[in-house]
Structure 1
């Protein structure tokens, strides 16, 4: 059975440490070793640790100077033997089956959420930032065990893909540690070391999951509130270090990828615009019978053009297109369809600014697209057409893939999945010309009505496809310059 190494840095606060250790032994059933890293405690913690080491065969104690939480974690990682590694604060109250539940999430969330290589998981808590926070929970410390059990019962399997996990309780695999390495000690004594580690893991292609069915009580900031660390402002003082570390001024390699078929009317205009900002363009043609292939050949930025004539399977085709584009090792990828044109303001400088975000946790950009109706001067503004947006530009990272659970592979997103926290919404508008002609709308309506055997509102936006042939629509005039 796998061993979990639990690393707990400690500086004074013996009352909190002893409560954490006692609840840990009471509620941890899986095999584990506890590595206590004593950072020059002066409150009797040393005697408590010595007694633990004598009475427990699975306790190790490391004594070090007062360098900070980040260094303490690294000293623990150096001697950890576990297949799984868990970094915890010393001001926690562990709850029944906490580790069993986190390990289950680590092992099975990938299959359930259709995500590759889950590498890190963390629980929910009363005192934590971001999406792990459970607000307005009222209980006494004597009630925390029963509260956590009820919380699990109500939320079992409630797991969420995320870009960040707080370091108060962070479980990760040995593989993550081998590939990502130690915590960055520039963040001593603490703060943004967890942001940095999660970002490094995310950039390596490891998925992070919130185990939203596991609750652990956190007293919160008990070490950083001590006099030696008051200047750290509970870790926020390290924010500038984090931003500066990840700032990247060099030019980014940006590729565009297209999946097209019979778009001779629009593809020239689309490729002309995209050529202004992309370093290369990759195209998968699903069997065009019109003049599309000849038009594509006129654009030097098209570095890869593949033509096939096989049965429609959007999920298969978009995955193939993604792999084709990734083979050129771009830093960022922009997904565009052959009947789409990005608005005039978007040029190379604009895209390069997006590709070098000030916030290093941004990995994807959302754009709005406007579907033109009956002519190229008016777009449809009612219903789902009035609020269409999606990710279209994203950072090229390992383990990305296209997913569809639709039986015919319809309604595949144009890009891989990204968690909410690492997306940014832009003001970019994309002009979508695929529904300008009534005959094209009717053709698509008849096709999807006949062949889509699993019509879902979440995919279509309605119960069926009648919005494609509606005769009662609201249109608005397009303005190329819509700045305030």
Structure 2
């Protein structure tokens, strides 16, 4: 990577409490420390759902407060439409970025020219799934395995084939839909086991009421089933 690479990073946040606000602050701080800015420039959009803190701006980001009703893909699309770099990374806010994480992913894109999408390795989660650190890139489409829905790094050109992210997903099944779309279109995705980004697991979701959690999770499966089972049958491996 001789020239500076620009990566557009979209992070969703819901700072209902000081604790949840700190989750986003810690995420952004770890991100901005993770790479040499002379080599990789992160253009960070934080999409904040808690409007009571407006016009607060997370440091080194452009923080926006959409009037739209929350939807994971809807908000990600808003961020994507505001940016123009050749690489996009869509992220939860409950992440800690390790030094060199993006460099390792970009090296993998350089090595595999037909690679469209990648996820980093979570040192808290992936060892439980049987993956090892620094064990080479792993091609695959399994959710919470090769596809880490909390951090998806892809070439902007991918969207020319897939179109926008499906706005019907408010939260759950968004990563399943993303994975299925790549698989159907034969677009390669890899888990990069030398790129480390830790996922602190559902800090925001777990703070919601049981009713809201139900709305954001189980209710999404109905639409997902309607969209995919008619095309793939009950044996669809990515469910």
- TM bin, normalised by shorter chain, reads 0.7 to 0.9
Residue 51 of structure 2 contacts residue 65 of structure 2 at CA under 8 Å; is this kept in 1?
no
Residue 4 of structure 1 contacts residue 31 of structure 1 at CA under 8 Å; is this kept in 2?
yes
Residue 124 of structure 1 contacts residue 134 of structure 1 at CA under 8 Å; is this kept in 2?
no
Q: CA deviation at 1:227?
A: 2.1
Structure 1 moving runs of 4+ over 6 Å: none
Cα deviation 1:334-359 (Å, max 9, x = unaligned): xxxxxxxxxxxxxxxxxxxxxx4224
1:28 and 2:30 matched: no
Indicate the SS of the match to 1:163: coil
Q: CA deviation at 1:127?
A: 5.5
1:124 aligns with one of 90, 100, 121: 121
2:127 aligns with one of 115, 134, 156: 134
Q: CA deviation at 1:47?
A: 5.0
Cα deviation 1:35-67 (Å, max 9, x = unaligned): 11112343x4x3541x63xxx4xx322211441
1:97 and 2:100 matched: yes
1:358 and 2:234 matched: yes
Q: Provide the rounded CA distance (Å) in 1 between the counterparts of 2:152 and 2:124.
A: 14
Q: How does 1:66-105 map to 2 (within 5 A)?
A: 66-105=69-108
Q: Provide the rounded CA distance (Å) in 1 between the counterparts of 2:83 and 2:29.
A: 21
Residue 126 of structure 1 contacts residue 135 of structure 1 at CA under 8 Å; is this kept in 2?
no
Residue 101 of structure 2 contacts residue 194 of structure 2 at CA under 8 Å; is this kept in 1?
no
| TM-score, with length taken from structure 1 | 0.42
Q: How does 1:288-299 map to 2 (within 5 A)?
A: none
Residue 176 of structure 1 contacts residue 201 of structure 1 at CA under 8 Å; is this kept in 2?
no
Q: Which blocks of at least 5 consecutive residues in structure 1 are unaligned?
A: 111-116, 137-150, 250-355, 363-421, 423-484
Cα deviation 1:434-475 (Å, max 9, x = unaligned): xxxxxxxxxxxxxxxxxxxxxxxxxxxxxxxxxxxxxxxxxx
Residue 7 of structure 1 contacts residue 34 of structure 1 at CA under 8 Å; is this kept in 2?
yes
| TM-score, with length taken from structure 2 | 0.82
Q: How does 1:341-356 map to 2 (within 5 A)?
A: 356=232
Question: Closer, same or farther in 2 for the Cα pair 1:224/1:127, shift >3 Å?
Answer: farther
Question: Residue in 2 aligned with 1:161?
Answer: 139
Question: Closer, same or farther in 2 for the Cα pair 1:38/1:359, shift >3 Å?
Answer: farther
Q: How does 1:215-234 map to 2 (within 5 A)?
A: 215-227=196-208, 229-232=212-215
Question: Residue in 2 aligned with 1:18?
Answer: 25
* Aligned-residue CA RMSD (Å): 2.5
Cα deviation 1:138-159 (Å, max 9, x = unaligned): xxxxxxxxxxxxx9xx843611
Q: Provide the rounded CA distance (Å) in 1 between the counterparts of 2:235 and 2:5.
A: 37
1:184 aligns with one of 163, 166, 172: 166
Residue 39 of structure 1 contacts residue 68 of structure 1 at CA under 8 Å; is this kept in 2?
no
Q: Which blocks of at least 5 consecutive residues in structure 2 are unaligned?
A: none
2:49 aligns with one of 39, 51, 57: 39
Comparing both chains, which one has the higher relative contact order based on Cα–Cα distances under 8 Å and sequence gaps of 6 or more?
2
Q: CA deviation at 1:199?
A: 1.3
Count residues with an aligned counterpart. 221
Q: CA deviation at 1:21?
A: 0.7
